Amino acid sequence: MRVAGQQDIVYPRSNLLRNHVMHVDNSLQALFNPGEADNFFQIDGLPAFNPAGIGCYDPINALWLSEFSRLIYRRERDEIPTRDQSFRSRSLFLAEKGCREDSFFNKGDGLTVSTQASILSHPQLKAAVLVFRGTLEPTNAVTDILIKPEDWEGVGKVHTGFRNALQVVWEPIREALAKVQFRVFFTGHSLGAALATLSASRCLHDNGPVKPAALYTFGSPRVGDRVFAQSLKGLSHARIVEYYS
């Protein structure tokens, strides 16, 4: 579903993979629990992330951001204490690519809201990413179904559940973003895509700590109404979905 009124461009997943071979896992676990994968960033011929790739769609950055959006689903010992010693953390996968996880956010009310996000960076390339996790827990499902529109900081109306999910974690994210010295790309999959969109909006219209370099969303649901969508004018947003012709 599109953000109402948004003039975005929809890219089929095949465009992401052109000239690059991704080792795809088609198992049910990869579908329902993608964080348990062990093939993150295994894309043959993947060039380096391009921090200058703003203002227009960059297929290489789309590949990187799709993998960051998959990696954020990986739950570590702070979430699953029974992980054994051989478990590979997000940081290990990131380090292999010259990246690091600067901050991990895990906030909720224990009942209806649970939100996870990370700020990742590549110091050598001087680039950072704010990535949100999508639907994984029962509380995320509750978030998804709270669809009644609510006022969004005076700029249109947005999905109630998405608004609530960002609110519980926005203040620590805002404080962390204020310390980032690099360009910040916003991204996420599914529910995470909706939260990335809302966080980009907060940065644009709420004296945000950074100006989003670009927003890349994967399988994003509808986030807000036409007024909200129009308030994002000027934001470089690539919305990537899977479809079949």
Q: Taking the CB of residue 71, how many other CB atoms lie within 10 A of it?
A: 22
- In this prediction the pTM is 0.87
pLDDT truncated to tens, each residue of the chain (245 aa)? 333 334 444 545 545 555 555 555 655 565 667 888 989 998 888 899 999 999 889 999 999 999 999 999 999 999 999 999 999 999 999 999 999 999 999 998 777 789 999 999 999 999 999 999 998 865 565 455 566 888 998 789 999 999 999 999 999 999 999 999 999 999 999 999 999 999 999 999 877 789 999 999 999 999 999 999 999 998 999 999 875 44
Q: Is beta strand 100-108 parallel, antiparallel or unpaired with respect to 114-122? A: antiparallel
Superfamily of domain 9-19+54-73+90-241: Alpha/Beta hydrolase fold, catalytic domain (3.40.50.1820)
The residue type at 108? G
Q: Which residues pair with 188 in a beta bridge?
A: 132, 217
What does the alpha-carbon distance between residue 162 and residue 143 come to, in Å, rounded to a whole number?
6
Per-domain residue ranges for the chain? 9-19+54-73+90-241
Q: Which residues pair with 48 in a beta bridge?
A: none
What does the alpha-carbon distance between residue 197 and residue 173 come to, in Å, rounded to a whole number?
14
